[in-house]
A and B are shown apart, each in its own frame.
Chain A
């Protein structure tokens, strides 16, 4: 589903945030991305959502090299990638229902279909009763789950989460992780950036470790150097 081949990302004026990173994440596979602060976790996730472009190497999503796709194609790539942010990125002047409905409205689904799918997604994250609430009236954990419902509502094949449990208590964090595991079980590829080593150990999934932009564990080390550009 996701393949990185010798991917480097250089920020002008900073240097390489990622260098020669290679790994694979299969369909329906779940993995954790870990590493110290500044190791390049967010950078790696951003490459998959085409928020930034690689300086070198190939980023394949569903066998398409998305490193050099045109601007016009980007929205359609992003529709296949549900993203969950630590700061939720919800619209605070819209109800929970409208927030979760947004990806479906963008895809141009009919009213009835939107209603059906939004309620299914809210049910999944246990917030069906809150559909008419404004996000500001919800707790941090509840807001995070609204973000998750929005990310999965159009059933994307890939789910990315950047520190999804950053400031939640351990119990809530565990609940959120179990939710991700459920999506993985229905065939979604899930990649979660996290610091929380205890929690990662509990989940027993594959772990990709970054250290100063290099993948020190979980990646592929036998890539032919310079074979891909």
Chain B
């Protein structure tokens, strides 16, 4: 029986000898690694850009504001009462109450249609209560919850969130995120196929060797091992390359971006791949390398049988 230390030593040896083989014939391997690196750098880079956009919009969130248009039947006094109740809420920073006559007055002064209004028997304007949420609750989700809550009040005719543009941006970003997932899935699949194809060629090149090893009693696991390690090395080097590509691109962009930020009086700077994302990128790449070689090996090894 094989002792564990010998077994481990064998693995180490196969691992290093496959690396040695790759280094000895760099050109064909570099092609595969480059394809992997670029294919993985694309979704990773887009992911970083999206993350940066998210950070920027997070800083813009302070703009949320809810307007409650009250029913005509609501009296000034009732509106005042509602304002007082709202002021006491924890999630609201401040509330402004614009009565029906104030609204009319404001319109008269700003519009120049004063005389036309004189002829009306009744004041057509509703009373409006404008609500500014506190900083803590100033995010899209909470604010939308508040909005739904206010809509149900009996005094309220219409509740409106003055943040549609942000909502649309979020929707676009959500779309972008899904798009990146789709892209990542498709590119991962192509990475899988590229590795699989490279390993398939390697298997064909070593057909005689595989046949001889089978003849003298090599197990499938023994024959598989070097190909799986080759896949592992492809994955690792492809992952490192894609990390370098993303990091380099962010570094190239960071100069112009910080200049732009200065123009907007902001000290914003581009963030690159953090430790966590870097490990995920490497892990994904290695898994794809292993999976690709596993696919090739399990499909093509059985076909090679000694005669």
Interface residues of A (CB under 8 A from B): 46, 49, 51, 72, 75-79, 83, 89-91, 102-103, 105-111, 150
Contact = CB atoms under 8 A, between A and B. Distances in A.
B76 interface: no
Interface of chain A: mostly helix, strand, loop or mixed: helix
Interface string B212-249: 11111111101000000000000000000000000000
B307 A51 contact: yes
A13 B220 CA distance: 30
Identify which of A103, A106, A107, A109 gathers the most chain B CB atoms within 10 Å of its CB.
Answer: A106
Nearest to B208: A91
Contacts of A49: 215
A46 B215 CA distance: 10
Given A91-B208, A91-B212, A106 B2 contact: no
Interface of chain B: mostly helix, strand, loop or mixed: helix
B209 interface: yes
B213 A106 contact: yes
Interface in B279-295: none
A108 B212 contact: no
Nearest first, the 3 A-B pairs at minimum CB distance are A79-B217, A108-B2, A78-B217
Contact of A75 (B10, B208, B209, B214): B214
B176 interface: no
Given A51-B307, A91-B208, A91-B209, A83 B215 contact: yes
6 contacts: A75-B219, A76-B217, A78-B216, A106-B222, A107-B2, A150-B216
Contacts of B209: 91
Given A75-B217, A89-B208, A89-B211, 9 more contacts: A75-B218, A76-B217, A78-B216, A79-B216, A102-B216, A106-B218, A107-B217, A108-B2, A108-B10
B306 interface: yes
Nearest to B305: A51
B7 interface: yes
B244 to A, nearest CB: 33
A106 B268 CA distance: 59
A51 B6 contact: no
Contacts of A106: 213, 216-219, 222
